[in-house]
């Protein structure tokens, strides 16, 4: 069986790393090899946001490297589809494997579906029910053209059922749980980020901010950073890895000089995955608009405040590890002063989601 895996953004690299490892393990134990060919769209093209991840997580190098990281959503997705079509027409895989909810996900799924190639979607069924988010559009469309839908939660399975999708749907757990176990241990051995940034364990806040619904609106950014500047002190700083979009918007809104003047804010370039994991594990609280970071906060048992009005990961709210604060300063500060009761989330699995995905792919391929 031949698979073309399509990735283009940091969260996808992590998920693909776990499935690639599962494929390697399976191939060692079976005489019938599963061939995986990786296509990198170039959606994230910065070395810290792409190349370092492949090296650090030992992901097989891409067979195809596109350069589709610039332009509007339409321009980026169209460029990807043109190039992906050429590659899929030539390689003719048995499955096209897509991850998450980025433009790369949608471009790969639509192109494959129009070529009548089966699409397998990892992290299928997630819904924020906010169609102002481009990620929500990407998720919905990808799910509706996919043949195999690998869901990380039972809620995701229910969402697909509500939309009339029941065939080819599998609850497999969350590959990010697999990654948290593997790379969490590795980060303790290799990461020096706490020493590099002169941080004490559980004496700093970690913030990540990149979603267009926040970064593209000056009022939202102003209120979020008013809250961050309120809580930032030299004794308990706010560490903020700056996504390129976030940095550009802060400059445009003339907020960057004010932030840099605050001695309690540590602005850093995008970090390696292992350094990011270490910060997530040791932060007092995480503030984020990232779906992946919300889950990683739970995996590492760090309280999380989500800077959005909704989340795809509602079970993290129900379990008390996550709070929805939105963007208003007062709401963010209020959440920081609350301590909800916390419990385990069993549906994410025990670290074998990637193996279950590979097993199911083989099972479906070998079915008469």
Report the alpha-carbon distance of residue 135 to residue 290 in Å, rounded. Answer: 11
Q: What is the DSSP letter of 191?
A: -
Per-residue pLDDT tens, the chain, 368 aa: give them. 999 999 998 889 889 999 999 999 999 988 778 999 999 999 865 554 455 666 767 777 899 999 888 889 999 999 999 999 999 999 999 999 999 999 999 999 999 999 999 999 999 999 999 998 899 999 999 999 999 999 999 999 999 999 999 999 999 999 999 999 999 999 999 999 999 999 999 999 999 999 989 999 999 999 999 999 999 999 999 999 998 889 999 999 999 999 999 999 999 998 988 999 999 999 999 999 999 999 999 999 999 999 999 999 999 999 999 999 999 999 999 999 998 889 999 999 999 999 999 999 999 999 87
Q: What are the tokens at 11?
A: 């969260």
What's the pLDDT at 10?
82
- What token pair was written down for 295? 């889950």
Do 119 and 113 form a contact (C-beta atoms < 8 A)?
Answer: yes
**pLDDT value of residue 45:** 56
Strand order from edge to edge, sheet including 322-324: 265-268, 238-241, 205-208, 285-288, 304-306, 322-324
End-to-end, the C-alpha distance of the chain in Å comes to 14
Domain extents in the chain: 2-174+349-366, 182-348
Q: What is the pTM of this model?
A: 0.88
Tell me which residues are annotated as active site. 210
CA angle, residues 254, 309, 209, in degrees to nearest 5: 40
- Report long-range pairs for 334-343 (Cβ below 8 Å, ≥24 apart): 335/305, 336/231, 336/285, 336/305, 339/303, 342/303, 343/319
Whether domain 182-348 has CATH 3.30.1550.10: the reply is no
| Alpha carbons 63 and 60: distance in angstroms, whole number | 9
Which of 99, 97, 102, 59 is CA-nearest to residue 80?
A: 102
Choices 3.40.50.10420, 3.40.50.9100, 3.30.450.80, 3.40.50.2000: CATH for 2-174+349-366: 3.40.50.2000
Asked whether 98 and 8 are in contact (CB, 8 A), the reply is: no
Tokens 């500060």 -> residue: 333
The first and second tokens of residue 202, run together, are: 């559980």
Query: For residue 167, what are its two tokens?
Result: 């065939």
pLDDT of residue 89: 98
Q: At how many degrees (to 10) do helices 10-29 and 273-282 cross? A: 110
Which residues sit opposite 322 in a β-bridge? Answer: 304
The continuous run of DSSP H or E covering 361 comes out as: helix 353-366
pLDDT for position 52: 61
The DSSP secondary structure of 7-63, one letter per residue, reads E-SHHHHHHHHHHHHHHHHHHHH-SSPPEEEEEE--SS-SGGGTHHHHHHTTPPPPS
The two structure tokens encoding residue 24: 């390697």
H/E run at residue 122: strand 119-122
In this predicted structure, what is the pLDDT of residue 106? 98
């Amino acid at each position: 069986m031949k698979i073309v895996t399509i990735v283009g953004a940091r969260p996808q690299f992590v998920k693909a790393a776990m499935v690639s490892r599962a494929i390697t393990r399976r191939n060692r134990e079976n005489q019938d090899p599963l061939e995986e060919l990786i296509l990198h769209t170039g959606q994230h093209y910065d070395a810290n946001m792409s190349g370092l991840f492949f090296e650090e997580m030992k992901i097989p190098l891409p067979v195809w490297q596109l350069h589709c990281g610039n332009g509007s959503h339409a321009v980026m997705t169209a460029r990807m589809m043109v190039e992906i079509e050429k590659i899929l027409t030539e390689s003719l895989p048995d499955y096209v494997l897509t991850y998450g909810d980025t433009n790369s996900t949608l471009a790969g799924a639509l192109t494959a579906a129009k070529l009548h190639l089966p699409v397998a979607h990892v992290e299928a069924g997630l819904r924020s029910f906010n169609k102002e988010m481009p990620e929500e559009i990407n998720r919905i469309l990808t799910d509706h053209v996919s043949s195999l839908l690998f869901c990380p939660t039972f809620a995701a399975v229910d969402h697909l059922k509500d939309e009339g999708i029941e065939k080819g749907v599998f609850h497999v757990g969350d590959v990010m749980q697999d990654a948290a176990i593997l790379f969490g241990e590795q980060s303790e051995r290799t990461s020096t980020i706490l020493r590099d940034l002169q941080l004490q364990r559980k004496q700093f806040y970690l913030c990540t901010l990149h979603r267009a619904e926040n970064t593209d609106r000056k009022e939202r950014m102003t209120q979020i950073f008013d809250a961050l500047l309120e809580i930032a002190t030299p004794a308990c700083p706010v560490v903020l890895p700056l996504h390129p979009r976030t940095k550009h918007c802060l400059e445009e809104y003339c907020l960057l000089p004010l932030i840099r003047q605050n001695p309690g804010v540590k602005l850093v370039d995008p970090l390696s995955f292992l350094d990011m994991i270490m910060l997530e594990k040791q932060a007092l609280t995480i503030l984020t608009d990232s779906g992946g970071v919300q889950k990683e906060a739970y995996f590492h048992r760090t309280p999380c405040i989500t800077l959005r009005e909704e989340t795809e990961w509602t079970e993290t709210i129900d379990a008390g590890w996550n709070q929805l604060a939105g963007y208003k300063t007062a709401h963010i500060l209020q959440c920081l002063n609350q301590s909800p009761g916390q419990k385990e989330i069993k549906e994410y699995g025990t670290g074998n989601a990637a193996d279950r995905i590979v097993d199911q792919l083989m099972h479906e391929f070998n079915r008469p």
